[in-house]
Amino acid sequence: MTTYTRAAEAQRKPLHPAQGEAPDMEALVRLATLAASSHNTQPWRFVLVPDGIRILPDLDRRCPVVDPDDAHLWRSLGCAAENIVLGATLQGLSAQLQVSGKAVLVALSPAADMVPDRLARVIPERQSCKAPYDGQPLSEQDLQTLGAAGRVAGARAALVTDVPQRHAIADLVAEGNLIQLSDPAFRSELIGWMRFSDREAIATGDGLAGRVLGMPSVPRWLGRMLVGLALSGSRQAGTDRRLLGTSSTIAGIVAVGDGPEAWVAAGRASQRLQLQATALGIASAFLNQPIEVASLRPRLESLLGLAPGESAQLLLRLGRGPRRPHSLRRRLEEVIQPL
């Protein structure tokens, strides 16, 4: 087993429900850190407060080019918050969320009749799998289960299986790639979050590890040079079109309104969708170009058929696919902030 795999496995130890023990807040933070985050920036800090866990945005981890309004940052906080909400059920705790423009408070209180949520058990196994899938349709029952899981107050997953509609969405992803990758600032920000060698990924515990992207482990100088030469809008557009062609379902995460509350709700819904997919043995990955490029978003929204007042927040593809190595996380000491 490689050092990278050992590090990833150590971070993803299975969960055991607490039995009559005092609530373990650090265990809940560990689960929160296993959530998805944009570019694996993990833009969060956790403060253990008497009534629960406060999640603060870590503004040093912003991505001002791809995410100028911090929407992805807040969606990432929503993903982390949902893991706490679910993990709390394993400890007999019920959770209430309060979102302000400054923080997300997950208030926790004992609930005698709490049933452990089945989605909590797969938190350590969830991953965004950027590999090709098998192209086979998902069953009606799986689609229904996914749709039901990807719903929280204020956000829902809109599932698209229709082929012409999926092709139209793939066109938007391709257009997004051409626009984003022709921008030197976008390229530089993306490459800045890439971790080209195992050593680099383990040292930082964050970012997009080569191993996860299916690339060999190489020194940073070489990785920068190779990716700098290979990364082009048209090449990425072709790759994403092929990947979408292997994914029989696309999910648009849509929310009521647009702002920190909607962003957090969207993150929660996407996390639940990915967890439910994991529980069903279904792979999932994000492709958010048509949301990140503001000029494409209205076209995506009309393809998703939104209700009045709803906005498109995130885009994922789903299907049966392989497992990839897990991405790494920072240590708890780095993300827990004293009260």
Ligand X SMILES: Cc1cc2nc3c(=O)[nH]c(=O)nc-3n(C[C@H](O)[C@H](O)[C@H](O)COP(=O)(O)O)c2cc1C
Q: Find the part of the chain contacting ligand X (CB under 6 A) among 94-102, 109-117, 251-259, 284-292.
A: 284-292
Coil, strand, or helix at residue 124? coil
Across the beta sheet with 93-99, the strand order is 44-49, 52-57, 104-110, 93-99
The amino acid occupying position 210 is G
Cβ contacts of 47 within 8 Å, gap of 6 or more: 53, 54, 56, 336, 337, 338, 339
Number of residues that bind ligand X (CB under 6 A): 18
Specify the residue, 88 or 285, whose C-beta has the smaller distance to ligand X. 285
Query: Minimum distance between the CB of residue 89 and ligand X, rounded to whole angstroms?
Result: 21
Among 83, 236, 288, 311, binds ligand X (CB under 6 A): 288
123 counts as binding ligand X under rule CB under 6 A: no
Query: Minimum distance between the CB of residue 162 and ligand X, rounded to whole angstroms?
Result: 22
33 counts as binding ligand X under rule CB under 6 A: no
Specify the residue, 250 or 287, whose C-beta has the smaller distance to ligand X. 287
Among 8, 28, 36, 277, binds ligand X (CB under 6 A): 36
Q: Report how far residue 285's alpha carbon sits from residue 247's, in angstroms, rounded to the nearest whole number.
A: 10
307 contacts 337 by C-beta, under 8 angstroms: no
172 counts as binding ligand X under rule CB under 6 A: no
Q: Find the part of the chain contacting ligand X (CB under 6 A) among 115-123, 178-186, 238-246, 283-291.
A: 283-291
223 contacts 276 by C-beta, under 8 angstroms: no
Residue number of the CB atom closest to ligand X: 36
β-pairing verdict for 208-209 and 194-195:
parallel
286 counts as binding ligand X under rule CB under 6 A: yes
Query: Minimum distance between the CB of residue 140 and ligand X, rounded to whole angstroms?
Result: 27
287 counts as binding ligand X under rule CB under 6 A: yes
Query: Minimum distance between the CB of residue 24 and ligand X, rounded to whole angstroms?
Result: 22
75 counts as binding ligand X under rule CB under 6 A: yes
282 contacts 141 by C-beta, under 8 angstroms: no
327 counts as binding ligand X under rule CB under 6 A: yes
Query: Minimum distance between the CB of residue 126 and ligand X, rounded to whole angstroms?
Result: 7
Could you tell me the two tokens for 283? 């792979």
DSSP letter for 121, please. Answer: G
Coil, strand, or helix at residue 99? strand
195 counts as binding ligand X under rule CB under 6 A: no
Among 79, 172, 273, 296, binds ligand X (CB under 6 A): 79
Please, which of residues 198-257 interact with ligand X by CB under 6 A? 208
The length of the chain, given as a count of residues: 339
Q: Cβ-count burial of 213 within 10 angstroms (0-12 exposed, 13-18 middle, 19+ buried)? A: middle
Specify the residue, 93 or 300, whose C-beta has the smaller distance to ligand X. 300
Q: Cβ-count burial of 153 within 10 angstroms (0-12 exposed, 13-18 middle, 19+ buried)? A: exposed
128 counts as binding ligand X under rule CB under 6 A: yes
Positions that interact with ligand X (CB under 6 A)? 36-40, 72, 75-76, 79, 127-128, 130, 208, 285-288, 327
